[in-house]
Structure 1
Amino acid sequence: MPPAIPGFDLRRVPAADGVTLTAAVGGSGPPVVLLHGFPQTHLMWRHVAADLAADHTVICPDLRGYGASDKPAEAGGMTTDAVYAKRTMAADIVAVAAALGHDRFALAGHDRGALVAFRAALDHPGTVTHLACLDVLPTLDMWEAMHGTTAAVGFHLYLMAQPPGLPERMIAADPDLFFGHFLDLWARAPEAVPADVRAVYLAACRAAVPSIVADYRASAGIDVTHDAADRAAGNRLRMPVAVLQQDWGAALGFDAAALWSAWAPDLRHTTVDTGHFMAEESPATVVRALRDLLAR
């Protein structure tokens, strides 16, 4: 049997634009939605979700384009960029929660999932009650912060921003090498992603190269446009916000807490001593932060 979150059921849930997401759902109580990052699936939340399910309804979807969720190339007449805009992916999450009976919910995301969560909180402030973002900067700030040779750490961002064709073919030539590179590079504690879980991640990515690239390409285009419009309008996050990050801001020459503070008046920013995959490497740290957030 493939690994799963103990006590959780996998469900196919309608999202936006005729797209259906696969979500692991468990527990009972106030709802919390957890969004995975790259190159992972909802399974990255297995430890955190099991803890929160003691007193919360926990919903862990695979994002559109990832895992066992639908991977549309086009939908509702939208371009591929718009199909994978974080605004569209955020609408998925609101629709999935509503389909499961929740009009308001707390939301946490890691990496790509954090960008979707950030957009959901800006676009649906009456729906998202609390927001947690793990080890990421808002898209606009990320592109502005990266420069010079230090930006080499984000080479994949530039690769997948290229026009359709080249990045898909390059990655598809050896997807396990490409996606496995990040699992190896970003984990300070490699044993936190055991072989059976790693195999799930690699198989899921192998089957989703075009949609994963489309997600990243949208972040070099339409997502920047949306973030810039919100910045210009002075739109900010209205709910309590928690951000957990490694100390990579200092290494890359920017103040991550200051960048987040510009978006979130009610912010608790914490630098954590772990690798990028913090929900797997140090789940107790993440659980404490989320429970602290939910109590605010």
Structure 2
Amino acid sequence: MSAVHPRPTIPGFDYQRLTAADGIDLNVATGGTGAPIVLLHGFPQTHLMWRHVARALASDHTVICPDLRGYGTSDKPVEASPDVYSKRTMAADIVAVAAALGHDRFALAGHDRGALVAVRAALDHPDTITHLATLDVLPTLDMWDVLHGANAAVAFHLYLMAQPPGLPERMIEASADAFFGYFLDVWTQNSAAIPDDVRAEYLRASREAVPSIVADYRASAGIDVEHDRADRESGRRLTMPVTVVQQDWGDALGYDAVGLWRAWAPDLVHRTTNAGHFMAEESSDEIVAVLRDLLVRQPATRSAL
């Protein structure tokens, strides 16, 4: 009989399940005291991606690290409608969880998928989100606009998981570890940044969540685009201080990332990093410093915007 290995956790953090906006439960790790900041993970990861950053920030902040709906050990509702995994619904989850912990205002940082949730939370709940940081994404609508030609091959998974229910789930489930492990390999510059136990947890969690992960991506090719387009047409923008951190691709992808972000976020600081996509794990000290700089920024005056 093989030994059962405990799942890795963030040392010093407490764990609980908290009910989100529509009755689903999220797995949430919390630690520290002080002004609250919520950290949202990306793909194909769980809240563990923040383990270094969270512990550093917990010295003087209340740090909240949930598994997004459909990921990790959070609930994975069936995709009964496009809205179940819309970023609007996932953002409402985060606002509800923070409220359950006693926080009606908080800073928010997200990586990858979590960054898309964070942006939607900041657009939909501007009086709740005090500061916003996004790591290595473009806004959903802009992402689809800039992907074209041979350069779009780097995002093949976006197109695969945008397909109607059935085929993408079956294809991924047939070789789940190879599929999810591929991204952990090619998006990482320093493989030691994701140790074996954490990698195994990412693969296990993703393997058990294929339908919900695909549903999350499918929403980003459909209902999330609709929500972003409505905001762009109405002139809705991010009103809080925003910091964006992205890999330094130079001109390789052929778009002006700063310009795309500034159209959404007038009060913007844009930074590039030499780290790979999993920058919170590969260059945690850098990301901690970036977040600390953000958290002390005061909102720009309306006349400055």
Q: Which category of TM-score, normalised to the shorter sequence, fits these structures?
A: over 0.9
Alignment of 1:90-105 (within 5 A): 90-105=91-106
Q: Which residue of 2 aligns with 1:212?
A: 213
Q: Which residue of 2 aligns with 1:137?
A: 138
How far apart are 1:80 and its partner, in Å? Answer: 3.1
1:61 paired with 2:71, answer no
Q: Which residue of 1 aligns with 2:260?
A: 259
**Matched letter for residue 288 of structure 2:** V
Q: Which residue of 1 aligns with 2:202?
A: 201
How far apart are 1:127 and its partner, in Å? Answer: 0.1
- Supply the distance in 2 between the matched residues of 1:248 and 1:116 (Cα, whole angstroms): 23
How far apart are 1:250 and its partner, in Å? Answer: 2.2
How far apart are 1:159 and its partner, in Å? Answer: 0.1
**Matched letter for residue 38 of structure 2:** V
- Supply the distance in 1 between the matched residues of 2:263 and 2:217 (Cα, whole angstroms): 24
CA contact (8 A) 1:249 1:256 kept: no
CA contact (8 A) 1:36 1:113 kept: yes
**Matched letter for residue 69 of structure 2:** R
Q: Which residue of 1 aligns with 2:123?
A: 122
1:32-53 deviation per Cα after TM superposition (whole angstroms, max 9, x unaligned): 0000000000000000000000
- Supply the distance in 2 between the matched residues of 1:267 and 1:289 (Cα, whole angstroms): 13
Q: Which residue of 2 aligns with 1:89?
A: 90
CA contact (8 A) 1:72 1:211 kept: yes
Rate the CA distance shift 1:62–1:286 in 2: closer, same or farther, 3 A.
Answer: same
- Supply the distance in 1 between the matched residues of 2:86 and 2:238 (Cα, whole angstroms): 19
Counterpart secondary structure, 1:252: coil
1:4-53 deviation per Cα after TM superposition (whole angstroms, max 9, x unaligned): 11110111011011111001100011000000000000000000000000
Counterpart secondary structure, 2:252: helix
- Supply the distance in 2 between the matched residues of 1:30 and 1:293 (Cα, whole angstroms): 13
Alignment of 1:1-296 (within 5 A): 1-74=6-79, 79-248=80-249, 250-296=251-297
**Matched letter for residue 147 of structure 2:** M
**Matched letter for residue 37 of structure 2:** V
Could you tell me which runs of 5 or more consecutive residues in structure 2 were left unpaired when the two chains were aligned.
1-5, 298-305
Query: Over aligned residues, Cα RMSD in angstroms?
Result: 0.8
1:184-235 deviation per Cα after TM superposition (whole angstroms, max 9, x unaligned): 0000111100000000000000000000000000000000000000000000
**Matched letter for residue 241 of structure 2:** P
**Matched letter for residue 85 of structure 1:** S
**Matched letter for residue 232 of structure 2:** R
- Supply the distance in 2 between the matched residues of 1:221 and 1:247 (Cα, whole angstroms): 29
- Supply the distance in 1 between the matched residues of 2:64 and 2:187 (Cα, whole angstroms): 25
- Supply the distance in 2 between the matched residues of 1:247 and 1:140 (Cα, whole angstroms): 21
TM-score between both structures, scaled by the size of structure 1: 0.98
TM-score between both structures, scaled by the size of structure 2: 0.95
The size of the alignment, in residue pairs, is 292
1:67-112 deviation per Cα after TM superposition (whole angstroms, max 9, x unaligned): 00000015xxxx4311000000000000000000000000000000
**Matched letter for residue 263 of structure 2:** A
- Supply the distance in 2 between the matched residues of 1:46 and 1:63 (Cα, whole angstroms): 16
**Matched letter for residue 22 of structure 1:** N
**Matched letter for residue 91 of structure 2:** A
**Structure 1 stretches of 4+ moved >4 Å:** none
How far apart are 1:249 and its partner, in Å? Answer: 6.1
- Supply the distance in 1 between the matched residues of 2:7 and 2:267 (Cα, whole angstroms): 40
